[in-house]
Amino acid sequence: MSTLKTLHAGALGLSFALTCLSPAVLMTAPAAAEVRATVNGQEITDDDLRIAAEDLGPSIPQQLQGKARDAYLLDYLIDSELVAQKAQADKLDQDPDFAKRLAYYHDKVLTETLLTKVAKDAVTPEKLQQTYDAAAKADKPQTEIHARHILVATEADAQAALKRIKAGEDFAKVAKEVSKDAAEDGGDLGWFTKDRMVPDFADAAFKLNEGEVSDPVKTQFGWHIIKVEGKRQTTFPPFDQVKGQVETFVVQKAQSDLIQQLHKDAKIVRADSAQSNAPAGQPSAPAAPAAPADKK
């Protein structure tokens, strides 16, 4: 399955004042997060650690777990707060470029928040099952074979290998000794459908019955001797096996549909003349991926 770009939490953590809330609202608010440190009077809480963890993601050393991971995040936030306080003391927050960056990250976090909500709303058991059933219905069974091959440079080498096999030597043994491809596996190519191989090879292989060995076959790679070990019809994978792929597809489609609809309803004027005539309803985003088709 191909994929759309995924959006991750931005680098900016935003705090909101609660002084404007009425007493009734304050009484029903959730308990305050635990304070993990203070930096010149500025609190760093569990919520801050959670947001930092989402932001840093894979950059957090994988060997850090539990308390060690929390300590790493806390050190990061303490350093960040110290630098931020110094920057504010130097009045860098009054720089026009800072305001532009703040506006950018404000929109970025809003975008991620909405797309996360869309993703959460889209992934329902009914939608997942419906998507899976549609993909399974559209998938047509194909013949696939399990084959081995011996690849050599010349037709004479191929004839010599074939002569040894016809004399009773084990195909895998000969492949290990003379083949230029997959020799360590006895020439084993595993299971594959016809479209997975180059045409000359595929045509010869799929004409063989189980257990048969081909005459020498020439392709762009050299000369092949092919043995078919088995044949079967492909089957669509069970739901549990591809559930993650189905979820990804459903989420990406829901997000893509939203963006396309927003483009359709918006008035967009671009200064880029090369793009100025592009229809508003066609955002420059990748197409949605194909339905899951892993049949192994």
Question: For residues 292 and 245, is the Cβ–Cβ distance under 8 A?
Answer: yes
Q: pLDDT of 87-118, one tens digit each?
A: 999 999 999 999 999 999 999 999 999 999 99
C-alpha gyration radius of the chain: 30
pLDDT at residue 7 is higher than 50? no
* 100, two tokens: 């532009």
Report the C-alpha gap between 94 and 78 in whole angstroms: 23
pLDDT at residue 279 is higher than 50? no
Q: pLDDT of 230-252, one tens digit each?
A: 999 999 999 999 999 999 999 99
SS3 108: helix
Task: Specify the CATH architecture of the domain 148-233.
Answer: Roll (3.10)
pLDDT at residue 222 is higher than 90? yes
pLDDT at residue 24 is higher than 70? no
Residue 32: predicted pLDDT:
73
Q: Quick count: other Cβ atoms within 10 Å of Cβ 77?
A: 21
SS3 184: helix
Residue 173: predicted pLDDT:
97
CA-CA-CA-CA dihedral for 110, 41, 46, 84, to nearest 10: 40
Classify residue 213 by its DSSP letter: B
Q: pLDDT of 47-64, one tens digit each?
A: 999 999 999 999 999 999
Average pLDDT over residues 84-88: 96
Question: For residues 227 and 205, is the Cβ–Cβ distance under 8 A?
Answer: no
Contacts (Cβ under 8 Å, ≥6 apart) of 35: 43, 44, 45
Backbone angles phi, psi at 208, to 5 degrees: -80, 150
Report the C-alpha gap between 288 and 236 in whole angstroms: 20
Report the C-alpha gap between 210 and 55 in whole angstroms: 54
pLDDT band at 2 (very low <50, low <70, confident <90, very high): very low
Whether the model pTM is above 0.75: no
Q: Where along the chain do its domains lie?
A: 148-233
Classify residue 181 by its DSSP letter: S
Q: For residue 229, give the nearest of 155, 158, 175, 179 by alpha carbon.
A: 175
Give the range among 1-5, 72-76, 127-131, 214-218 with minimum mean pLDDT.
1-5
